Chains A and B, each alone.
Chain A
Amino acid sequence: MTENTQRVSTPRLLDRRDERVAHADTIGGMIGAFVDRVRAGDLGSLPVVVGLLIICTAFQSLNPVFLAPDNLVNLLFDCSTVGVISLGIVCILMVGEIDLSVGSVSGFSSALVGVLWVNQDWPVAVAIVAALGLGAAIGGLYAFLFNRLGMPSFVSTLSGLLAWLGLQLYLLGSSGSINLPYGSPLVNFGQMLVMPPVVSYALAALAGVIVFATGYRMAARRRAAGLSASSLGGLLLKGALVVIVLEFVVYYLNLARGVPWMFGLFVGLCVVMNYALKRTKWGRSMSAVGGNREAARRAGINVRRIHASAFMLCSTLAAAGGILAAARLASSSQQAGTGDVNLNAIAAAVIGGTSLFGGRGSAYSALLGIIVIQSIASGLTLLDLSSSLRYMITGAVLAVAVIVDSLARRSRVSHGRA
């Protein structure tokens, strides 16, 4: 009875009137809700964290250099190039399509920058803009083939994979590779430039402050509007955790060279993309198109334009990744963008938790996924394993990731969380 009187006396919030729903308001409740979500197959980034822990323990026990700050800084440099490409893959997977040609597009754009900048003596900025523009044009072409001619993206981008590779080889000609000048800003950016310690510490702190401030403002607005809101304590805890974790990472990296600017650029792109996908009408439309294309069309969303934006963003980011890769290697070569670049980019997005079936994903999955992939690559290189073994192991990890994704998807469907 006492419980009943209490229930009556407290005024109910607008979204808490239905008594059938359990709401997690306390920290214990939050943990319980998290466990329930995971059980139902809404794994979020849990598999990545678990996978990273396994990878780190395994490689660290095999070779203690693996977790050394120097190796991690190198790892972050390597992450950024394919990571940017993977960010584009997240975009295209959101609408339920695929781009198999990102590797070739990145190789083509690195070749283009080499030819225009080194061979033709164009200013480097103009060469970069030209490469990015051509990347966007390639995406536009895929969008045209998809929207107007009904060509499945799988096929159009598969033929693109060959075509742009051919163009890359043609551009590079008989020499096969162009060396980018050492000491130039682009190559420095790709190989050496790191944030001064002060800047990196400040950025890490700023991230926590932003997490707290946005959460606090949202909570205040919700409370003012009579909706339930997260507690101040929870928000403080969240912000503090972000600051502590990031500051520790930054401190550890600063024991070696420090945080690469290139990685900073990649993370910055992830943050911007996350905002665009989560907090704008465009992002909402992307999820809607990926979830139910016909429903999106009937809701008045211009589905063709959304597809076009996804294709163009994907290949523009692929071109950007190619330029970063050229900067990282200080050369534009025939090997750029070939081999496992394509699959690593797609695998990173999927491992990070973006669904292959459309409608579910996050920009941060590119960040998490590429760290996993690059850790494996780096660990296997440290163990001096041949590339044959590296390919097999990376392939197995990708298979496991996709299996986890489809099992989780099945579980989500049966728990009504599709």
Chain B
Amino acid sequence: MSTISDLDHPQQTQGEPVLSLRGISKNFGAVSALTDVDLDVHAGEVVALVGDNGAGKSTLVKILAGVHQPTSGTIAFDGEHVALSDPATALGLGIATVFQDLALCENLDVVANIFLGRELNPVRLDEVSMEIRAWTLLNELSARIPSVREPVASLSGGQRQTVAIARSLLTEPKLILLDEPTAALGVAQTAEVLDLIERVRARGLGVIVISHNMEDVRAVADRIVVLRLGRNNGEFGPDVSNQDLVTAITGADENSVSRRANRRGAQRSREVRP
């Protein structure tokens, strides 16, 4: 039980992490996309992974999904060292990934999409059991899907995200990776997906969310991990200020975001003064 108890977690007191990365590096030829990255995720915890373009977030997710293999470093899942050699292995261990483009078949209905590749009874599809399981999953997520027998093409962006998440929960994973889950969504739909993430957390799963949206990140994350140029660049609680977060992401107090904010602030005060 205590194989990695010697690791200390200043910000976490929730017991053992579900996932623990130590010293992960990944080189693509001469480019090192990740250098010595550490990351812990506990059960029932939402960890947000933020960083600028090229910070290595996607590479890290792909390593966890089994798409890429790290050049060096160790991955411990449930306290045991594992090698995520391909996507099937990652899925088998209990790491489910919802990619940004969702990968749904628009011509198939919701049930068919949720069970795609994992149909019950291959030579005589058990539609009734699959439909019940689909409804159960969707109800657990308090999802608002009008009908599971409509093609996915007729669903909104938020509903599709829900289907994709329900699909990833089908295999009873312990950890779920969400890549930009709110990137293409409107205000109401974003709120729905954030609710959804909280419900997934309530089920006791570890969640890693990648997002560019600081508002969303602070709204839902228990811990915010910043990557910069392929390295860890700080860990924050959800109450961190936007300024601090942007500083950690861009690596400087003086950056384009703060300059813009100052400029706007000055402009506004000028407008107010007369």
- Number of A-B residue pairs at CB separation under 8 A: 105
A225 to B116, Cβ gap below 8 A?
no
Give B136's nearest chain A residue, CB to CB.
Answer: A14
A417 to B105, Cβ gap below 8 A?
no
Residues of A within 8 A of B122 (CB): 280-282
The digit string for A286-315, where 1 denotes a CB below 8 A from any CB of B, is 011011101110111100000000000000
A148 contacts the other chain (CB 8 A):
no
A287 to B154, Cβ gap below 8 A?
no
A222 contacts the other chain (CB 8 A):
yes
A14 to B135, Cβ gap below 8 A?
yes
Give the interface segment out of A15-23, A189-197, A242-250, A330-338. A15-23
Give B164's nearest chain A residue, CB to CB.
Answer: A295
Min distance, Cβ B202 to any Cβ of chain A, angstroms: 21
A7 contacts the other chain (CB 8 A):
no
Whole-angstrom distance between the alpha carbons of A416 and B106 in the complex? Answer: 9
A359 contacts the other chain (CB 8 A):
yes
The digit string for B117-133, where 1 denotes a CB below 8 A from any CB of A, is 11100111101110110
Min distance, Cβ A363 to any Cβ of chain B, angstroms: 16
Given contacts A280-B123, A280-B124, contact A287 B148 (CB under 8 A): no
B144 contacts the other chain (CB 8 A):
yes
Interface size on B (CB < 8 Å)?
Answer: 39
A328 contacts the other chain (CB 8 A):
no
Contact of B144 among A18, A281, A294 (CB under 8 A): A18
A290 to B153, Cβ gap below 8 A?
no
Whole-angstrom distance between the alpha carbons of A360 and B108 in the complex? Answer: 9
A39 contacts the other chain (CB 8 A):
no
Give B167's nearest chain A residue, CB to CB.
Answer: A299
Contact of B125 among A227, A280, A417 (CB under 8 A): A280
A418 contacts the other chain (CB 8 A):
yes
Contact of B146 among A20, A285, A291, A418 (CB under 8 A): A20
A227 to B132, Cβ gap below 8 A?
yes
Contact of A417 among B127, B128, B147, B154 (CB under 8 A): B154
Min distance, Cβ A284 to any Cβ of chain B, angstroms: 6
A296 to B116, Cβ gap below 8 A?
yes
Residues of B within 8 A of A (CB): 87-88, 91, 99, 101-108, 112, 116-119, 122-125, 127-129, 131-132, 135, 139, 144-151, 153-155
Pairs across A and B, CB under 8 Å, 27 listed: A14-B135, A15-B135, A18-B144, A21-B146, A218-B127, A222-B128, A226-B132, A279-B125, A282-B122, A284-B116, A284-B125, A288-B105, A288-B108, A288-B116, A291-B106, A291-B107, A292-B105, A296-B117, A298-B87, A298-B99, A299-B103, A299-B117, A359-B105, A416-B155, A417-B153, A417-B154, A418-B107
Residues of A within 8 A of B (CB): 14-15, 17-18, 20-21, 218, 221-222, 225-227, 279-282, 284-285, 287-288, 290-292, 294-296, 298-301, 359-360, 412-413, 415-418
